[in-house]
Amino acid sequence: MGHEHGGMSGMHVPDLPPTTGRLLGLDLGAASPVAWLAVALTAVYLVGLWRLHRRGISWPVLRTVAFLAGCASVFHVCASGLQSYGMALFSVHMVQHMVLTMIAPLGLLLGAPITLALRALSASRGPAGAPRRLLLWGLHSRLGRIVSHPAFTVPLFIASLYGVYLTPVFDDLMATTPGHTFMLLHFLVTGLLFFGPILAVDPWPRRSGHGGRMLELMLPAPFHAFFGVIVMMSNTLLLTSFASTPASWGIDPLVDQSWAGGVAWSFGELPTVLVLAVVVAQWSRSEDRSNRAVERARERAIARGESGEDPALAAYNERLRQLAAQQP
C-alpha cells in the first residue's frame, strides 16, 4: 500500500490517500491480532465439522456458510485498508466498529457454534470430556445468566458507543496496540452478547419469548440513532486520535467525523431488520409446531373414542356452563 509511517500507537498509517481499492484491499502487514483470531475460529469450526462427518452426523450447509461469512467479515475489516486507514479516519474506523458489532456476530451466531461444539466434543466422563463439561457449566452458570440478561447486554451495547467515543476511553485505547486490539474484541463480544439471546439459534443461558426478544432488539435503536446524530452535528472534534489526518490526503477531520456519525446513524437499520425477520420466522415455525402438536393430540383422543376437544377449550367451556347454571 505504498510507504507508511507510524501511527500514534506504533501501528502503521498509509502515506497514500484512501481510495476504494486501498480501503478494501488486504493489508496483512497492518492486520490486527483479531484477524488471526477469525482464522483460528474458522479452523476450530472446520475441525468440529470434520468430527461430525466422521461419525456420520449431518450438519446444515447454511449454518456453515453463515459462520464462515462471519469469520470472513471479521478478518477483512481487521486485515485490510479498513484496519490501517481506520487508525487515522474516524469514518473508516466506524465502518470497522459497525461490522464487528452489527454484521459479523449475526453470521457467527447463525452458524450455531455452541450446538456444533456440544455435538462434536467428547461426552466422556474422563479428561477428554472436560471441554464439553466446561461449556455446559458456562451455559448453566449464574455468570452466564447475568451476561445474557438484557439488563446487562443492552447497557453494554449502548456503552460501546457513548462510553467509548464520548469519554477519554477511546483515545487511551488507541494509544497502544493491546488497547486497540482489546477495543476491537470488545466491539465483537458486545455484538455476540447482544444478538445471542435474541437470535436464540444455540442453547443460551437465558431464554426469552419471541415478543421479549423483539423488544430487546428494538431497545437500543433510538440510542444508536441519537449517537449518530450527536457525532454528525458536533462542531468540534470529539477525539484527538483523528485530529491530525495526513495533510496529503486532503480530508478535513471535522468533515470525516460527520461521515462517521452518518455511518453510525445508518448502519443499525439493515441488521435490525434482518434479525427481526429471523425472530418472526422462528416465531411462525414455533406456532406451527405447537398447532401440529395440538392436532396430533386431538387425533389420538378421537382414536381412543374421546371428544378430541382441546383440553384448554373444554375447560373454558365447562367454566361457562357452570357460570350459566348459577344464574337465577
Is the pLDDT score of 9 beyond 60? no
Where does the pLDDT of residue 297 fall: very low under 50, low under 70, confident under 90, or very high at 90 and above?
A: low
pLDDT at 4 over 50: no
The percentage of the chain sitting over the pLDDT mark of 90, rounded to a whole number, equals 62
Q: How far apart are the first and last CA of the chain?
A: 92
pLDDT at 7: 42
- pLDDT value at position 307? 56
Residue 289 or 184, more confident = 184
Query: In whole angstroms, what is the distance from residue 227 CA to residue 12 CA?
Result: 29
The torsion angle over the Cα atoms of residues 266, 83, 181 and 172, rounded to 10 degrees, is: -80
C-alpha R_g of the chain: 25
Highest mean pLDDT among 100-109, 242-251, 305-314: 100-109
Q: Which of 225-244 are b and which e, b meaning 16 or more Cβ less than 10 Å from the residue's Cβ? A: eebbebbbeeeeebbebbee
The pLDDT, as a whole number, for residue 213 is: 85
The more confident residue out of 303 and 254 is: 254
The C-alpha cell at 294 is 395440538
pLDDT in tens, 144-155: 999 999 999 999
Q: What global pTM score does this model have?
A: 0.82
Confidence of residue 180 (pLDDT cuts 50, 70, 90): very high
